[in-house]
Homo-oligomer: A and B are copies of this chain.
Amino acid sequence: MSVLALCGGVGGAKLAFGLAAEAADLTIAVNTGDDFEHLGLTVCPDIDTVLYTLSDLADRERGWGLAGETWGFMAALARLGGETWFQLGDHDLATHVERTRRLAAGDSLSAVTAHLARALGLKPGIVPMSDQPVRTHLLTDTGELAFQPYFVRERCAPVVRRVRYQGAATAAPSPGFAAALARPDLTAIVICPSNPYLSIDPILAVPGVREALQHAAAPIVAVSPIVAGQALKGPAAKLMAELGVEPGVEAVARHYAGLIDGLVVDTADAGAVPTIEALGVRALAVPSVMRSDDDRRRLARDALAFAATLSQSRARAG
């Protein structure tokens, strides 16, 4: 079974963990719209979350960063009057320093990411959506903000009116992502339960990605990041409301309609299945909240089995 997953940070990475356990051949294309330069270092929060989650080094309680992290660097930086709004743990910092050093030496983000994944003993292909910088910007009531200042420094408080993916127009899918998109033997394409606007749309904004997905032979299944009108993590529901969309799985279905074949929703949203299917999107309601490794694997199995049932209809439509 060969699977391509599109993935953002925390929630998406949990499903990617499950997919890695269930699919022998997995490529994970990761959002880089959250990437930023901080203290002279290139920080790729979603790639790192995927790396740390798949290698089981992630801190499960805090919900971000590495387990057993220490904060000596931040304390010393504060003493020197440095910028401390973005927390960089001592262990996490090694990832950013090593990445920045390799990028400065001329390696592509793909090559650096592949190196880090190899060093951590990971088998799936983990590829950035693009090797060119794409930066998610939020046009808010108080002005334009880059992603991390909006997300971390302002704690998502400003009201968002529009989302822009700076640099997307001139970016290209990374070689590994392009290759996966073009594979005729793909069994399924899974859009992980990540924020549609902030984690998945930047990937879809890279020229050629949406078209490649539309022409893919494999069925495309998304897993809703919204459960019972709430985002399990992050600002997805708040953002939907600000963008004039009623937060809910119906909105997720509408957002992806025309692109996906099926949407996996939580059993809490089983009542929305008819509405979703009326949009031309098949729907499956299963337990989708991932608290344990078992949850991650079961949801991955459910999504892949669901995709298998959709491959016939996609073949007919294609």
Contact = CB atoms under 8 A, between A and B. Distances in A.
Point out which of A40, A41, A75, A120 has the most chain B C-beta atoms below 10 A from its C-beta: A40
Contacts of A115: 81
Contact of A79 (B40, B82, B89, B119): B119
A39 B75 contact: no
A80 interface: yes
Interface string A62-93: 00001001101111110111100000011111
Contacts of A215: none
A59 to B, nearest CB: 13
Copy tally for this chain in the complex stands at 2
A100 interface: yes
Categorize the interface residue count of chain A.
Answer: 20 to 34
A258 to B, nearest CB: 41
A132 interface: no
Interface string A92-130: 111101101100100000000001100110000000000
A93 B73 contact: yes
Nearest to A77: B94
Given A41-B97, A80-B116, A91 B75 contact: yes
A78 to B, nearest CB: 8
Nearest to A69: B72
Contact of A90 (B70, B95, B120): B70
B120 A79 contact: yes
A94 to B, nearest CB: 4
A94 B76 CA distance: 6
Contacts of A79: 94, 119-120
Contact of A80 (B39, B104, B119): B119
Nearest to A90: B72
A105 to B, nearest CB: 9
B70 A72 contact: yes
A91 B78 CA distance: 10
A95 B76 CA distance: 8
Given A81-B115, A115-B81, A119-B81, A76 B90 contact: yes
Nearest to A38: B101
Contacts of A72: 69-70, 72, 89-91
B90 A73 contact: yes
Interface string A19-39: 000000000000000000001
21 contacts: A40-B40, A40-B97, A41-B97, A69-B72, A70-B70, A72-B89, A73-B73, A74-B94, A75-B91, A76-B92, A79-B94, A79-B119, A80-B94, A80-B119, A80-B120, A81-B115, A82-B94, A82-B97, A82-B101, A90-B90, A93-B93
Interface of A: 39-41, 66, 69-70, 72-77, 79-82, 89-95, 97-98, 100-101, 104, 115-116, 119-120
